[in-house]
Amino acid sequence: MKKNGVKMIKIKAKNVDVFYGKKQALYNIGLDIEENQVTALIGPSGCGKSTFLRCLNRMNDVIDICSVKGEILINDFNINDKSCDVVRLREKIGMVFQKPNPFPKTVYENISYGPTIHGMAQSKQEMDEIVETSLKKAALWEEVKDRLHEPGTGLSGGQQQRLCIARAISVRPEVILMDEPCSALDPIATAQIEELIDELKKEHTIIIVTHSMAQAARVSQNTGFFHLGHLIEHGSTDKIFKNPDNTKTQDYITGRFG
């Protein structure tokens, strides 16, 4: 999104290095992410795109041997700083995973969990409202409004993934990270999610990791291409797909490897 012709930058990564033990997974990544746009991260398996995504909400903290160096500024605040509170960070930065992972609880409880732990609703009524709007935004309300108190794990794969998206947006995050959200879904469910992503970008900044170049081309405005832990090239999706600067990008886009 441009304000007065200037791109609004939501996230600014500078010199990010990631190590798993002694093995380096990411090398000196620098990437700006535009606000209220969809940024796709593409690249062959093991290139570090998911690792980079997990840096943005510090999910790599969970892995003992993983260490992250460099600066990641979100709203000009370095989230790798010691003063950064992980719980508040993750409230602002939601995440949707590769495999749908609803809690083994009811649909309602799946959505209300985040607002509950962050104290966002004062009454049952407010919570009902949050659940309803979240499900509506995730285009799931019509399908589950009669089975809110049935297990979320009983939904179909595509519905489960939209439930996970509804869960992520229930706490009104500024950024939503999506780690290959459609790789476990059929083409129809994939189309629904892609439509949803387009809708969500009005209110959220979205970063999506995807294996499918077609998907990246369809949903994103900006694209970053990762290869062997390096960010080879990034820019507007149009440019990356039509007129890349780097030959590796060219080769990958045209399917010569990966």
Site of interaction with another protein (CB under 8 A): 57, 59, 62, 64, 87-91, 94-95, 97, 99, 101-105, 113-114, 117-118, 151, 153, 164, 167-168, 171
Q: Return d(Cα 102, Cα 167) in angstroms, integer.
A: 9
Whichever of 91 and 233 has its CB closer to another protein, that residue is: 91
Nearer to another protein, 28 or 101 (CB): 101
Query: How far is the C-alpha of 77 from the C-alpha of 89, rounded, in Å?
Result: 11
User: How many residues are given for the chain?
Assistant: 258
Residue 253: strand, helix, or coil: helix
Residue (153 or 236) nearer to another protein, CB: 153
CA 147 from centre of chain:
27
Nearer to another protein, 6 or 87 (CB): 87
Interior angle at CA 13, CA 12 and CA 18, nearest 5? 160
**Judged by CB, which is closer to another protein: 114, or 244?**
114
> Least CB distance from residue 167 to another protein, whole Å?
7
Q: Which residues on neighbouring strands pair with residue 66, listed in sequence order?
A: 20
Token reading at 35: 């606000």
Smallest distance from another protein to CB 60, Å: 11
Residue 228 and residue 45 in contact, taking contact as beta carbons nearer than 8 Å: no
- From residue 140, alpha-carbon distances to 112, 144, 162, 233 in Å are 15, 6, 7, 36
Q: Work out how close the CB of 23 gets to another protein at its nearest, in angstroms, rounded to a whole number.
A: 17
Nearer to another protein, 38 or 95 (CB): 95
**Shortest distance in whole angstroms from residue 102 CB to another protein:** 8
CB of 114 to another protein, least distance (A): 4
Q: How far is the CB of 9 from another protein (least distance, A)?
A: 23
Shortest Å, Cβ 101 to another protein: 4
CA distance 214 to 18: 28
**In whole angstroms, what separates CA 230 from the centre of its chain?**
20
User: Which residue lies nearer to another protein by CB, 41 or 231?
Assistant: 41
Count Cα atoms within 13 angstroms, Cβ side, for 79. 27
